Amino acid sequence: MADAKLFVEAHRELTRRYFLRLGSAGIAAWSTLRLSFAADPSADLSAQQKLEQAIAKIEYLTPSADFGNVGRGDPVPSELPDDQRRAVGLDRDTWQLEVVPDAESGAKVEQPLSKERGTAFNWEALMRLAEKSAVRYFKVMTCNNINAPLGMGLWEGLPLRDILWLARPTDNIRRVFYYGYHNEKPEQMFRSSLPLNRVLEDPSGELPVLVCYKLNGQWLSPKRGGPVRMLVPEAYGFKSVKWLQRIVLTNNHQANDTYADANNDIESWQKTFARFVDAPEDVEPGAPIPLTGLAQVGIGGLTKVQVALDSSEAAPADDPYFTRLTWRDADVLPLPPDWSKSLPGGKTPEMPLQFDPQTGRPREWPLRYTLVHWATIVPGVAAGKYQLRCRTIDLAGHAQPLPRPFLKSGRNAIHSVTVNVGDDA
């Protein structure tokens, strides 16, 4: 958990500066937050461990090894011995990618990239194209059935369309089917798909779908889907298939996603939501309550993070999303100017697509499909037991969990934590 501890320290330094700018009230609040973790050494250790576990999956730039992991296989392909991974094409020297037509659907391409023909796309060809066309961008990875992000990184790859055009597609193609290595067992195959138009032309303001080979400036590890995986910026993780080896261009109008079999919304964009990182469990009556956290910025963008303090544990039947609570705006913090220090070697990489090359700063803030820090102070209250809640407001004015509160399209329920105020709690 060393990297998690470093993240906690970085997060706290960022928020410490925020609290100090607020003057005497901010200094008092910061002291409360620090004491909640340091008053008792044994309690501090317990709280620190809990904090590290809570944020391990939602770090700003998460070290590759610390990403939360969702995968399948028996064994999982990343756990194969090196010689076996090399034998099945899960090594940079042996990796090959096929791009072939679905003949049964009438799809047509002039130059299939296939192992049978000896024309499969390989690592050497990928690197040649990458010299001219590689791009990189920040993206948070989230599973649509888990209520916290798995990690946030700087990803690098080649736009998928650059490879598809090598196969010279000509006619009767509506979707792109793809899957990765799956131990040759059909029941372990994990597959996904995209509309062809999404691959060939990015909607205004959107990032390209990538054939991805780097994370945080380093080659993708086997656990992260290396040597090559798909990366779909606006989508949940099941679209970004690991261990990519085969693409099928098809005229089939229906998706083939594995996640459809479990009643998931397979065309769901990432949602916007907030979570706490630091929140004191115990506070003196009348003492200000300092709070810090992270927010995932989804397709709807982000205008506000808000917090509420209330004594009710459950939502009223006629107000399931707590809209009648007294919500208070938190401050969304800017990107740290030294964000590249969390990359291996602290070296700033070539400019991410979301950045202005003239200024070296984000084109907008917050960036969609990323994480942001936030912080605030809630005024002190009388003794009792309370619930702290946080939520986001998107660019259209929708308060979390709206406009899409349904579980199968991504988890974004309002996060709630308990705080005890005084001896009577």
251 with 356, same domain: the answer is: no
Same-domain pairing of 141 and 208 = yes
Is residue 53 in a domain? no
Q: Using the predicted structure, report yes or no on whether residue 424 has a pLDDT greater than 80.
A: no
The mean per-residue pLDDT over the stretch 327-342 comes to 79
Please state, in angstroms and rounded to a whole number, the distance separating the CA atoms of residues 396 and 381: 33
For the residues 312-323, what does the mean pLDDT come to? Answer: 93
Residue 381 in domain:
yes
Whether the pLDDT of residue 55 is over 60: the answer is: no
Q: What is the pLDDT of residue 64?
A: 86
Lowest pLDDT segment from 8-17, 71-80, 146-155, 302-311: 8-17
Quick one: average pLDDT of 83-89?
94
Query: For the CA atoms of 48, 51, 56, 61, what is the dihedral angle to 10 degrees?
Result: -90
Regarding predicted confidence, which is higher, 67 or 384? 384
258 shares a domain with 287: no
CATH number at residue 245: 3.90.420.10
Which pLDDT does position 278 carry in this prediction?
A: 82
What CATH number corresponds to the domain at position 395? 2.60.40.650
> What pLDDT is stored for residue 33 in this prediction?
56
- Statement to judge: residues 281 and 236 lie in one domain: no
pLDDT of residue 45: 39
Q: What is the pLDDT of residue 351?
A: 84
Q: How confident is the model at residue 192 (pLDDT cuts 50, 70, 90)?
A: very high
Whether 99 and 234 map to the same domain: the answer is yes
Q: Mean pLDDT in the chain? A: 85
Question: How many domains are there within the chain?
Answer: 2
More confident residue, 54 or 326: 326
**Last residue within a domain, chosen from 241, 262, 283:** 262
| Contact of 409 with 259, CB cutoff 8 Å | no
Pairing status of strand 96-101 against strand 244-250: parallel
Q: Which two structure tokens, joined as six digits, stand for 178?
A: 């793809």
Cβ proximity of 4 and 65 under 8 Å = no
Q: Identify whether 85 is part of a domain.
A: yes
For range 177-198, the mean pLDDT: 88
| pLDDT tens per residue across span 98-108 | 999 999 999 99
Q: Give the pLDDT confidence score for residue 4 in this predicted structure.
A: 42
State pLDDT tens for residues 208-228: 999 999 999 999 999 999 999
Q: Is residue 329 part of a domain?
A: yes
pTM: 0.85
Helix (H, G, I), strand (E, B) or coil at 170: strand
Strands (E), 160-234: 169-171, 175-180, 191-195, 210-215, 218-219, 229-231
Tens of pLDDT, residue by residue over 18-46, are 666 666 655 555 555 554 444 444 444 33
Would residue 221 count as lying in a domain? yes
Q: What is the pLDDT of residue 277?
A: 85
Residues 170 and 284 placed together within one structural domain of the fold: no
Q: Which domain range does residue 291 map to?
A: 271-421
Q: What pLDDT score was predicted for residue 48?
A: 38
Q: Are residues 222 and 284 in the same domain?
A: no
Q: Is residue 52 part of a domain?
A: no
Confidence of residue 323 (pLDDT cuts 50, 70, 90): very high
Q: Which of the two residues, 265 and 22, has the higher pLDDT score? A: 265
Burial of 336 (0-12, 13-18, 19+ CB in 10 A): middle
pLDDT band at residue 344 under the 50/70/90 scheme:
confident
Give pLDDT tens digits for 165-177. Answer: 999 999 999 999 9
User: What does the pLDDT read at residue 49?
Assistant: 43
Residue 75 pLDDT grade (very low, low, confident, very high; cuts 50, 70, 90): confident
Q: Is residue 15 part of a domain?
A: no
Position 360 pLDDT exceeds 70? yes
277 and 165, same structural domain? Answer: no
Residue 51: pLDDT band (50, 70, 90) is: very low
Q: 58 or 374: whose pLDDT is higher? A: 374
226: exposed, middle or buried (Cβ count in 10 Å: 0-12, 13-18, 19+): buried
Mean pLDDT, residues 138-152 taken together: 90
Same domain (yes/no): 253, 276: no
**pLDDT tops 70 at residue 188:** yes
CB–CB of 169/108 below 8 Å? yes
Domain stop point among 238, 262, 286 = 262
Check residues 405 and 59 and name the one with the higher pLDDT.
405
Confidence of residue 307 (pLDDT cuts 50, 70, 90): very high
Q: Rounded to whole angstroms, how far apart are CA atoms 122 and 386?
A: 58
pLDDT at 57 over 60: no
60 has a pLDDT exceeding 70: no
Asked if the structure places residue 20 within a domain, the reply is no
Same domain, 374 and 231: no
Same domain, 306 and 204: no
What pLDDT shows up at residue 403? Answer: 96
Task: Give the whole-angstrom CA distance, residue 150 versus residue 158.
Answer: 23
Residues 46, 294, 214, CA angle at the centre, nearest 5°? 100
Q: Which residue has the higher pLDDT, 251 or 46?
A: 251
Confidence of residue 6 (pLDDT cuts 50, 70, 90): very low
Let me know whether 176 and 110 are in one domain: yes
As a whole number of angstroms, the distance between CA 138 and CA 212 comes to 12
Q: Percent of the chain at pLDDT above 70?
A: 83
- Where is the domain boundary, 232, 262, 292? 262
